[in-house]
Chains A and B, each alone.
Chain A
Amino acid sequence: DIVLTQSPALAVSLEQRATISCKTSQNVDNYGISYMHWYQQKPGQQPKLLIYEGSNLASGIPARFSGSGSGTDFTLTIDPVEADDIATYYCQQSKDYPFTFGSGTKLEIK
């Protein structure tokens, strides 16, 4: 199985940039596509898709969110961070079954 590793928490000041990392145990690229996706989950809510295939912004998601990376190293960037962004962020790979998620990074405000 492909293991996704995320830092447990990140503290950022409002209006600053947050960079959330996700490292995979195997390459999740294939034919130029990164099978890496990002979700936001606020307390008591279902997850919401933010980014798909590495860098594509999902419908209705503000341009403050962006995704980058390839191979085994991926980043979700929020710039600037707003108070409403307090949540846990998960990466997910779909290069191979079983699909797997990272353990989540909890974004906190300094």
Chain B
Amino acid sequence: EVQLVESGGGLVQPGRSLKLSCLASGFTFSNYGMNWIRQAPGKGLEWVASISSSSSYIYYADTVKGRFTISRDNAKNTLYLQMTSLRSEDTALYYCARGGLPGYNHWFAYWGQGTLVTVSS
């Protein structure tokens, strides 16, 4: 069974940093592209970042480019999102999601339960 478990969320002041983790199990992590998607309270879904299976290709939404860094450790089956210079508009539930097929990261086949990030003074 595919499982994605996010952690690392919490309350943080504006301008500070936070690092999210997503522990994957139930599939060969190193074969799949991975993604972060967020959802502000009461709002819709916003794609944040994607990383290919070997970390060769990385993409970011313009809203986070230069502030967030997606990375992965295939030996630890873990996806990361390092967030810096946090703003109030980054407040959201952050989901980790797996790509649809090995090496083919166009849709989000499995989602974690999310970890809540609140940016407030």
Interface, chain A (partner B; CB < 8 A): 35, 37, 39, 41, 46-49, 52-53, 58, 90, 92, 94, 97-104
Which residue of the partner chain A has the closest CB to B6? A46
Q: Knowing A37-B106, A52-B100 touch, does A97 contact B44 (C-beta < 8 A)? A: no
Q: How many A-B residue pairs have CB under 8 A?
A: 55
CA distance A28 to B109 in the complex (A): 19
CA distance A101 to B95 in the complex (A): 14
CA distance A94 to B107 in the complex (A): 7
CA distance A35 to B61 in the complex (A): 18
Interface, chain B (partner A; CB < 8 A): 44-47, 50, 59-62, 95, 100, 106-114
Give the chain B neighbours of A102 by CB distance below 8 A: 44
Q: Which of B45, B95, B113 contacts A90 (CB 8 A)?
A: B45
Which residue of the partner chain A has the closest CB to B93? A46
- Is A49 in contact with B109, judged by CB distance below 8 angstroms? yes
Give the chain A neighbours of B47 by CB distance below 8 A: 92, 98-101
Q: Which of A49, A98, A103, A104 contacts B107 (CB 8 A)?
A: A49
- Is A47 in contact with B106, judged by CB distance below 8 angstroms? no
CA distance A102 to B44 in the complex (A): 8
Which residue of the partner chain B has the closest CB to A90? B45
Shortest distance between the CB of B67 and any CB in chain A (Å): 15
Shortest distance between the CB of B96 and any CB in chain A (Å): 10
Q: Which of A49, A98, A104 contacts B108 (CB 8 A)?
A: A49
Which has the most chain A C-beta neighbours within 10 Å: B46, B47, B62? B47
Give the chain B neighbours of A35 by CB distance below 8 A: 106
